[in-house]
Amino acid sequence: MAPRRRDLLPLAIGLCAGGMPLAAARQDGADIVVPLRLLRTGDIGALPWIELELGGARTRWLVDSGSTAAVVSPALAGRLKLERLSSARVAMAGGAQTLERFALPPLPGVAAPSDPAAFALDLKQLLGAAGAEVDGALGAPWLRDNITRFDFARGELRWQSRQPTLARGAAVLPLRWDGGLPVLRLAIGARSADEFVLDTGNAGALVVFARRAQALIDGAAPLPETRVLEIGGTVQVRYARIERLGAPGWAALQVPAALESGDAARRGAHFDRLAGSLGVALFEPGAFTLDGPGNSLRVELPGLPETPPLPGGFGFRLAFTTSLIVSALIEGGPAARAGLMTGDQVQGVDGVDARQWTVVQAWQALADRDTTLLQVYRERASQRVALRRERFFPLLR
């Protein structure tokens, strides 16, 4: 399923009810190592987050290379009595908003940027109850002057004191910084290379922004589409599989992609300059190192230069109101063909009671499953729906 997108602010994030046991940050020589967790908020991909001690409290942060600034919850800003700065108007995927800003104190083990300001945002407006458990997001300024290794396979985020030794089979991709964001040159199929932001706030694999996506949409058969909720509004997206996305020495195959469509007039400048966003799902089987000072991305994945195809999806989305419900279906997907319907209440997942689960808990449970049996309630009756993951998005070469 398509990732949610925005220019400045983080994507949907949340924690399982009751929290998760976490290990503390540790020193490894001159390096700082923090446990790295992945939060499942959709059918494909996840969001990386870490825990840091701040002001004597344990705080949880999304690490978001696609955000031009940090974000802090108003609750944490008040609790820590952060210094209030001037407000600013910011561009987001769904439009623009005026947000308050606060000065973040130094973070343990992390080199502070020249401007440690954080925008205040109540994530409950997008995430519901799960948003109350999230304290904020660390954006690209906290990565620009650091060497940061995202080791998804080992569950570690490492701030390194020096450039790492290149691992056998690794690929090194040059990057540049555009408006404070890390940008890579990648080619879709045999097309000319274009620039994509490396965005760890994109839980999925690939988003192509509207101005670049239209050429792909025009040259393709009809593609399934939905509207995706964003901070500040909604964005129309169509879904496809990109047969090959690559750069010299590296390629990913069968990449699930969200192609934005519709009016882009309200969007920020990055949506005009850049072709799209490269997300976490591409790298989850291995690791990458974002070398800010060295202007490079070191990718370590099984099977380089061509990585194994990414998993497909079940083809539905979830939301939590008073219960867990099916909020959207993707045309042509397993869920739609199996008879799942928008508004169905999810009562169970593979025999486990799911009536009080959050959206994150449900996707955490489904993350490693190729098949699932859902118990759903509809029109005063309960029924079972069997699903199998498929790569059902139309293929674009």
C-alpha torsion sign, points 317, 319, 324, 329: negative
Return the pLDDT at 220: 85
The answer to whether 227 and 235 are in contact (CB under 8 A) is yes
Write out 282-332 in H/E/C secondary structure.
Answer: HCCCCEEEEECCCCEEEEECCCCCECCCCCCECCEEEEECCCEEEEEECCC
Return the pLDDT at 68: 87
Q: Where are the domains of the chain?
A: 26-148, 162-300, 316-396
The two beta strands, 276-278 and 194-198, are parallel
Q: What is the CATH number of domain 316-396?
A: 2.30.42.10
pLDDT in tens, 91-138: 655 556 778 999 988 877 677 788 888 999 876 665 555 556 678 889
Segment of 70-84, 263-277, 369-383 carrying the highest mean pLDDT: 369-383
SS3 assignment, position 347? strand
**Torsion, Cα of 199, 204, 210, 216 (10° steps):** 120
pLDDT band, very low/low/confident/very high, at 208 (cuts 50, 70, 90): very high
- Domains 26-148 and 162-300 in one fold: yes
Return the pLDDT at 23: 54
Phi, psi of 93 (to 5 degrees): -60, -40
**Structure tokens, 34:** 């923090």
**For the whole model, what pTM was predicted?**
0.87
Return the pLDDT at 9: 31
Return the pLDDT at 166: 76
Average pLDDT, the chain: 83
Rg of the chain over Cα atoms, rounded to whole angstroms, equals: 20
For tokens 């690939």, name the residue. 206
pLDDT band, very low/low/confident/very high, at 10 (cuts 50, 70, 90): very low
For the chain, how far is it from start to end, CA to CA, in angstroms?
19
pLDDT in tens, 142-176: 999 899 999 999 999 999 888 777 777 789 999 99
SS3 assignment, position 333? coil
CATH superfamily assigned to domain 26-148: Acid Proteases (2.40.70.10)
**Torsion, Cα of 47, 58, 145, 30 (10° steps):** -110
C-alpha atoms less than 13 angstroms from C-alpha of 380 in its C-beta half-sphere: 0
Exposure string (b/e) for 52-64, b if CB count within 10 Å is 16 or more?
bebeeeebbbbbb
The CATH fold of domain 162-300: Cathepsin D, subunit A; domain 1 (2.40.70)
- What is the spatial distance between Cα 61 and Cα 46, in angstroms, rounded to a whole number? 14
Q: Mean per-residue pLDDT for 273-282?
A: 92
- What is the spatial distance between Cα 149 and Cα 298, in angstroms, rounded to a whole number? 9
pLDDT in tens, 244-256: 999 998 999 999 9
- Is the predicted pLDDT of residue 13 greater than 60, yes or no? no
